[in-house]
Amino acid sequence: EIQLQESGPGLVKPSQSLSLTCSVTGYTITSGYDWSWIRKFPGNKMEWMGYISYSGSTNYNPSLKSRISITRDTSKNQFFLQLNSVTTEDTATYYCARYRRRVPYWYFDFWGPGTMVTVSS
Amino acid sequence: DIQMTQTPSSMPASLGERVTISCRASQGISNYLNWYQQKPDGTIKPLIYYTSNLQSGVPSRFSGSGSGTDYSLTISSLEPEDFAMYYCQQYDSSPWTFGGGTKLELK
């Protein structure tokens, strides 16, 4: 079965960049689907951040567009999140997820367990 | 962005009880509405996609309905493992947005 696993630093200083890795097993990320990052803030609000498609194209939430980059390493079957110029408001649990798009059924069908990132000096 | 308003934000309920969680979109979303469950350990899984389609492996006590701007998730008879957070999510237009969540708690 497909599994996703987030990894990266749990603590980032304000103004620095947040970098996370999502390692995928059980499915090749270039075979299909979109590969997303989603975060859940303290207080339970959830935000879709963006995705990289199986072909390498990207789509970002406009609220983050100037700060976010999602890339991939197909040789390692991994994709990455970079969020620049972080503030304490970026403190959240970050999830990677597979986005299934088969009209009209579009949904996040597999999720990683999440990784908590705190932005603090 | 389409705003998703989920109610209630928390719901005390008993085992065996029938519960309904509501989700209202700020504009019509043409049934492009999904539901997710987040367990206390943080794991998230899809329950319902495209308003009323049950994800494989999800028990039949879960059901979804709705149209236009108003949608709901119903659990017909609560089991112990159902006490969790629930989120709706629209995909009518990007950016995909989530409701604020409903915490189902044991009464």
pLDDT digits (tens, 9 = 90+) for B69-83: 999 999 999 999 999
In this prediction, residue A103 carries a pLDDT of 81
In this prediction, residue B31 carries a pLDDT of 97
State which residue of chain A sits closest to B53, comparing Cα positions.
Answer: A105
Name the residue among A45, A49, A23, A54 with its Cα closest to residue A36. Answer: A49
Q: Do A46 and B96 touch (CB under 8 A)?
A: no
Q: Which are the contacts of B29, defined by CB distance < 8 A and separation ≥ 6?
A: B2, B68, B69, B90, B91, B92, B93
**Neighboring chain B residues of A59 at a CB cutoff of 8 Å:** 94
Best probe of the B interface among A108, A109, A110, by most B CBs < 10 A, is A108
**Pairing label, strands B10-13, B102-106:** parallel
Q: Using one digit for the tens of pLDDT, what is the confidence trace for A77-99?
A: 999 999 999 999 999 999 999 99
- In Å, what is the CA distance from B35 to each residue of A88, A89, B32? 29, 26, 11
d(CA A74, CA A29): 7
Q: Do A114 and B46 touch (CB under 8 A)?
A: no
| DSSP string for residues in B4-39 | EEEE-SEEEE-TT--EEEEEEESS--TT-EEEEEE-
Q: Do B91 and A107 touch (CB under 8 A)?
A: yes
**Pairing label, strands A68-73, A78-83:** antiparallel
Q: How far is B69 from chain A (nearest CA, A)?
A: 17
Name the residue among A40, A87, A45, A84 with its Cα closest to residue A65. Answer: A84
Q: Nearest Cβ partner of B46 from A95, A104, A109?
A: A109
The chain-wide mean pLDDT, for chain B, equals: 97
State yes or no: pLDDT of B6 exceeds 90.
yes
Strands lying side by side in the sheet with A68-73 = A3-7, A18-25, A78-83, A68-73
CB atoms within 10 A of CB A42: 10
In this prediction, residue B65 carries a pLDDT of 98
d(CA B1, CA A83): 21
Q: Touching check for B8 and chain A: CB below 8 Å? A: no
Residue numbers in chain A where pLDDT is lower than 70 = none
In this prediction, residue A82 carries a pLDDT of 98
Q: Nearest Cβ partner of B42 from A45, A93, A107?
A: A93
Percentage of chain A modeled with pLDDT above 70: 100
